[in-house]
Structure 1
Amino acid sequence: MKIDYGWRARLADDELTALTRSHGGTAEPGWWDRIRTHSLGWVTGREPGGELVGFANVAWDGGDHAFLLDPKVRPDHQHRGIGTELVRRAVAGAAEAGCEWVHVDFEEHLRDFYFGACGFRPTRAGLIALR
């Protein structure tokens, strides 16, 4: 199956809300419209007919650090390399923008994906849960 990928490509809030909900996530309408301005860029994955099947967001600090957020692939399209390609293109977009680092955090069951398929390496980091 051919997937068309785009960096900072058109993306409607309702499409992203539907994609997020397709795999059990919660997304309130207006979510994408609120956060888009804080993004360095994003990667979309679409079927040739235009349906959104994958997404990854890249936030940043305005300097050297980018943050991979919210990568997702529609469940019926998973395990086909789409997520790995979304991440690869997100990292490339951050590098082209002059970022020196891309950070990601994830749940334990995604460890092999990020460290194996995507090339991230473990680091020491800290976290404060606010809720």
Structure 2
Amino acid sequence: MLELYSAVGWSAYTEDPATLERSVLGSEHVVTARRDGELLGMARVVGDGATLAYLQDVLVRPDAHRTGIGRSLVEAAFAPFAAVRQKVLLTDAEPSQRAFYESLGFVEAHDHDPGLRAFVRLR
């Protein structure tokens, strides 16, 4: 798992492996993609399982981008939460991120009708 996080450049996670492990173990649902035993991708959902499912840490090794793994991971991660109304995520402001998540039916909060606000507090 540390190799996967390193491969995508998410060093804030790899600097504290114990916290990363706790976060994954505390997730509501975790899915992975593997090829010949190698971890190619991962996605996890946190939330209450009833009213909120928060998609967290969708990762795919760069050499496996644009192969459908990301889409499959997101669909599998949310599969147990079909009846959950609020499915949300926070991601980087890169054009490719927006295009990817819009292709999966997500809408940026400020573009939603009726209007929504999204707030974040990071340290």
Distance 1:68 1:99 in 2: 12
Q: Which residue of 1 aligns with 2:29?
A: 41
Q: TM-score, normalised by structure 1?
A: 0.76
CA contact (8 A) 2:49 2:81 kept: no
Q: Which runs of 5+ in 1 are unaligned?
A: 1-15
How do 1:1-131 residues align onto structure 2 when only pairs under 5 Å count?
16-26=1-11, 27=14, 28-47=16-35, 49-95=36-82, 98-109=83-94, 110-116=97-103, 118-123=104-109, 124-131=116-123
Identity of aligned residues (%): 34
Question: The residue matched to 1:53 in structure 2 has which SS?
Answer: strand
Residue in 2 that maps onto 1:8: none
Cα deviation for residue 101 of structure 1 reads 2.2
1:129–1:82 Cα change, 3 Å: same
CA contact (8 A) 2:56 2:89 kept: yes
In structure 2, the partner of 1:4 is: none
- List alignment gaps of at least 5 residues for structure 2: 110-115
Larger relative contact order (Cα-Cα within 8 Å, sequence gap ≥ 6):
1
Q: Deviations over 1:83-117 (max 9, x none)?
A: 1111111121222xx5332111212211111012x
